[in-house]
Amino acid sequence: MGKIRIQNYTFDASEKKVTFTDYATINLEAVLLIVNVTDNVIIYNFADNALGGTAATNVLTLTYSTTSMDDADDLLIYYDDTKLNSCEAITDWTAVAQNTIVESGTLDCSDHVKTLLHIQAFLDTTTAHTGTRFIVQVSSNTSGDEDWQDYTEFVGLIGTAATDLIEDNPLAAGSTSIALTGHALTVRAKWLGIEDGTLVNSELIFEVSSSANAVVILDGTTNSHVQNTAIFNVALSQVILLDGTVNRCRVLVDNSYDADGSTLNFKLRATKVTS
């Protein structure tokens, strides 16, 4: 959005505090200027050390002494409302046994304007699988376990995975062509899961074509992989958007949805919009 004038605020002159009432949290570096229009005095300027301050949640505490001013004074406030995005790892690649339910890590969303969850998963056997249930849960509370509620859910990883082994010795990071010992992965436009011997080095890749003994993928591999590392072709990469009213979130991976299906691996990350 860029620079905006803040219309909704409260001013506590004796405490030298300005509260941005439309925000759950503010970023100090985004506060540009505050002028007491009633007294015609600049009380905050991001470029002046003598007119600085500190921020906690949505409250700016000023360096400049406003104790002689009035709470009802009119303030001109400019704030840079440009979105600030960052990414956070919640749960790295984790194995999920057949007929079990695994809980991801919990993400604190209390200072987010929006949260985008990134769920990745892939089957790691060739057992027929009628699906795994992914349940996104949110909490209205910032702590405790009594207020978890289901936000949304979906069933994925339906099918019987084909598998093949990496023939490259080794497969280098950044590779876009992977030689295989067989010719089992022939369906293009599919996510594939590479199950590395060090599980956190596993990754999803997207197949765009295949030849007699290789697959070509859309983007280069993130990690290197040793010869005979297994690749499976029932995988998913799903995103879920949460709004700013959510205080915490987590994902439950219900692999009891098919009681005698396949094992799998999953990973969870989040993109956070904090302004």
> For 135-193, how does the pLDDT look when each residue is reduced to its tens digit (9 = 90+)?
999 999 889 999 999 999 999 999 999 999 999 999 999 999 999 999 889 999 999 99
Q: What pLDDT score does 5 carry?
A: 94
* CATH tag, 163-232: 2.40.10
pTM (2 d.p.)? 0.73
* CATH tag, 85-160+235-273: 2.60.120.200
Positions of the chain with pLDDT under 50: none
Whether 85-160+235-273 shares its CATH topology with 163-232 is answered: no
Domain ranges of the chain: 3-80, 85-160+235-273, 163-232
Task: Judge whether 269 and 89 are in contact, CB under 8 Å.
Answer: yes
Contacts of the segment 59-63: beta carbons below 8 A, 24+ positions apart: 59/17, 59/18, 59/19, 59/20, 59/26, 60/17, 60/18, 60/19, 60/20, 60/26, 60/28, 60/31, 60/34, 61/15, 61/16, 61/17, 62/16, 62/17, 62/18, 62/34, 63/16
Q: What pLDDT score does 45 carry?
A: 97
Q: What pLDDT score does 255 carry?
A: 98
Q: What pLDDT score does 78 carry?
A: 96
Task: Judge whether 206 and 194 are in contact, CB under 8 Å.
Answer: no
* Alpha carbons 37 and 46: distance in angstroms, whole number: 18
Q: What pLDDT score does 94 carry?
A: 98
* Alpha carbons 35 and 22: distance in angstroms, whole number: 19
Q: What pLDDT score does 1 carry?
A: 55
